[in-house]
């Protein structure tokens, strides 16, 4: 029969060291009570808002002749910076391509993205969207020398369509313009240059952008047919941070229908030359 050994002082010290180490490890592990810091808190501490956007997509976001980043989306981001940090200049813009906008927010490089981005179900699988900050649709910008007045007239083998490399544009082209040859580009500005130069006959793009390009070039026009119903353009961010999403969604709500509507309306008129939808369908503010 074995006899139990009486613990020695050396064994007691080793046991105590083990227990202290275990407590230290457990204390370092996150617990349900230790909530992860929201990006809202991080942005406030940093004192600067970092926003992913496109610098080749007028009138939403583009570089002007002075080398300044301007556009409707840029002004909206500045309004948000003013509301959040008290200064519209406390925002840093990270230029991204159409495909690069998703990694920019998912990696944490940018706090959110605003790049004339339409909500689609497949996109909502990767990023979180606020409510829409802008209504949109898809129109076709075409060269006047093509002598076409409708989408059906454009659907001819002799014409070429400029597209972006996204599945939505590919699906629309296949559905409405299956006979056209397709040229794919990385940016809206590259599409526009292709149409302007005659490399492509037409391009499909958000209605506001198509209207903007037609205003800049008398050789181009926008066809009356819309390729989609009214769509929703929204701010997007990395999913999983409810506090950050809720703040941005609240701000967008105030822009469209609340306390920030006057600023929103002024920005809308500045870039699109017309009034935005009213803040409420049943009221109209007194004009002074």
- Average pLDDT of the chain is 89
Most confident of 75-84, 133-142, 219-228: 75-84
pLDDT tier for residue 177 given thresholds of 50, 70 and 90: very high
Q: What CATH number corresponds to the domain at position 181? A: 3.40.190.10
281 assigned to some structural domain: no
Co-location of 68 and 104 in the same domain: yes
Co-location of 50 and 190 in the same domain: no
217 assigned to some structural domain: yes
Co-location of 184 and 214 in the same domain: yes
pTM of the model: 0.72
Model pLDDT for residues 70-92, shown as the tens digit of each residue = 999 999 999 999 999 999 999 99
Model pLDDT for residues 48-73, shown as the tens digit of each residue = 999 999 988 889 999 999 999 999 99
Phi/psi at 75 (5° precision): -65, -40
Co-location of 253 and 202 in the same domain: no
Tell me the residue range of the domain where 148 lies: 138-228
Co-location of 262 and 219 in the same domain: no
């Amino acid at each position: 029969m074995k006899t139990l050994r009486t613990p020695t002082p050396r064994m007691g010290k080793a046991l105590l060291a083990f227990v202290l180490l275990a407590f230290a490890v457990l204390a370092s592990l996150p617990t349900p009570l230790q909530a992860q810091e929201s990006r809202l808190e991080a942005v406030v501490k940093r004192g600067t808002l970092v926003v992913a956007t496109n610098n080749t997509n007028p009138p939403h976001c583009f570089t002007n002749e002075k080398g300044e980043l301007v556009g409707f989306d840029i002004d909206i981001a500045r309004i948000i910076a003013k509301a959040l940090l008290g200064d519209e200049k406390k925002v840093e813009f990270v230029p991204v391509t159409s495909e690069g906008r998703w990694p920019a927010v998912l990696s944490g490089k940018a706090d959110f993205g605003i790049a004339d981005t339409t909500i689609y179900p497949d996109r909502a699988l990767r990023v979180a969207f606020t409510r829409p900050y802008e209504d949109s649709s898809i129109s076709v910008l075409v060269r006047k020398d093509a002598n076409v007045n409708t989408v059906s007239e454009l659907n001819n083998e002799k014409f070429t369509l400029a597209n972006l490399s996204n599945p939505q544009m590919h699906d629309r082209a296949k559905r409405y313009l299956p006979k056209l040859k397709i040229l794919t580009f990385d940016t809206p500005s590259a599409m526009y240059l292709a149409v302007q130069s005659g490399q492509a006959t037409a391009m499909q793009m958000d209605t506001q952008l198509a209207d903007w390009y037609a205003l800049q070039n008398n050789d181009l026009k926008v066809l009356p047919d819309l390729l989609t119903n009214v769509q929703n353009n929204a701010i997007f961010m990395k999913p999983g941070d409810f506090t950050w999403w809720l703040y941005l969604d609240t701000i967008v709500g105030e822009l469209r229908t609340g306390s920030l509507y006057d600023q929103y309306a002024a920005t809308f008129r500045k870039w699109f030359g017309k009034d935005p939808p009213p803040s409420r369908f049943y009221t109209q503010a007194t004009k002074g």
